[in-house]
Amino acid sequence: MSVPGWPAGGGPEPVGAHPGTTEDSARTERRTGPVTERVTAAARRQSPSGAVQLPPDRFLADRETPAQDPFGGNRAMPILHRAAPAHILLVEDDPGDELMAREAFEDDALDSELHVARDGEQALDFLYRRGDFAAAPRPDFILLDLNLPRVDGRQVLRQIKNDATVASIPVVVLTTSAAVEDLLACYDTHANAYITKPQGYEEFIGVVRRINEFWLDTVRLPNEEAE
């Protein structure tokens, strides 16, 4: 029996006969193992000079249409007109996750400035403007990992929500933990949202972008009312 598109008498298979191509595998690569392996997805985007390209090569065409989101749907364009960029504090000790979060914020249509604390103690110093963070701005919202060195993220959340001077700052927990006890404990401590980090590179970027859009483009924040 002849099959449409298949050469008579055998021969090479038609293009696309098997979906397991190198490109498909790259798209579904997951961040597993040590930090060096999890940075691999971002490292693939480096130019010959070593500089990270934003956005990824295969999405460069989207720069000409800033409302287009390569990770699905359309990017939200700012609705609120801000007098100054919003300040986001990312509390994250994993260099790979920090790199991907930076890329998500830098490649976003919304006006924001990302600050990074790499452990819980730095996060509290930033909030209370201690030491090297004496001139730190008050964050508009906080992205908080749970498993942090020096001061655990659960303790940071508890400190923030028990202190009336900073309790109104929204805290979004962004963690690898999918444990129900962590979920319940964070909401009991008045976290504003709890998100388990996606494992895929593109999924991670998309989640961080949607967090940014929601908190900066949809909701009204305490800092705006105080200005």
The CATH number linked to 149 is 3.40.50.2300
Q: Any idea what DSSP says for residue 212? A: H
3-class DSSP state of 12: coil
198 half-sphere exposure, CB direction, 13 A CA radius: 15
What residues contact residue 202 under an 8 Å CB cut-off, 6+ apart? 27, 71
Q: Is position 123 within any domain?
A: yes
More confident site: 203 or 33: 203
- 119, part of any domain: yes
Q: Is 124 contained in some domain?
A: yes
pLDDT band at 63 (very low <50, low <70, confident <90, very high): very low
> Is there a domain that residue 41 lies in?
no
More confident: 26 or 126? 126
168 assigned to some structural domain: yes
Q: What is the pLDDT of residue 217?
A: 82
Q: Which domain holds residue 207?
A: 85-226
* 8 A C-beta contact, residue 29 and residue 201: yes
User: What domain count does the chain have?
Assistant: 1
Share of the chain above pLDDT 70, in %: 59
Question: Is residue 44, in this structure, part of any structural domain at all?
Answer: no
What pLDDT, on the 0 to 100 scale, is given for residue 139?
94
Measured distance CA(18)–CA(219) in Å, rounded:
46
Residue 169 pLDDT exceeds 50: yes
Cα distances from 190 to residues 25, 94, 159, 185, 207, in angstroms, run 40, 24, 11, 9, 21
Q: What does the pLDDT average to over 23-50?
A: 40
User: What pLDDT score was predicted for residue 136?
Assistant: 96
Q: Are strands 112-117 and 141-144 parallel, antiparallel or unpaired?
A: unpaired
What confidence score (pLDDT) does residue 125 get? 97
Residue 128: its H or E element: helix 120-128
Query: Cα–Cα distances in Å, from 6 out to 11, 12, 19?
Result: 8, 8, 17
DSSP codes, 130-167: -GGGTTPPPPSEEEE-SS-SSS-HHHHHHHHHT-TTTT
Alpha carbon separation from 177 to 184, 196, 197, 211 (Å, rounded): 12, 6, 8, 18
Interval 118-165: pLDDT, tens: 999 999 999 999 999 999 999 999 999 999 999 999 999 999 999 999
Does the pLDDT value for residue 92 go beyond 60? yes
Q: How confident is the model at residue 43 (pLDDT cuts 50, 70, 90)?
A: very low
pTM for the predicted model, two decimal places: 0.63
**Domain-located, residue 76:** no
- With respect to residue 134, please indicate whether it lies within any of the assigned structural domains: yes
> Any bridge partners for residue 194, and if so which?
173
Dist. CA 41–CA 201, nearest whole Å: 7
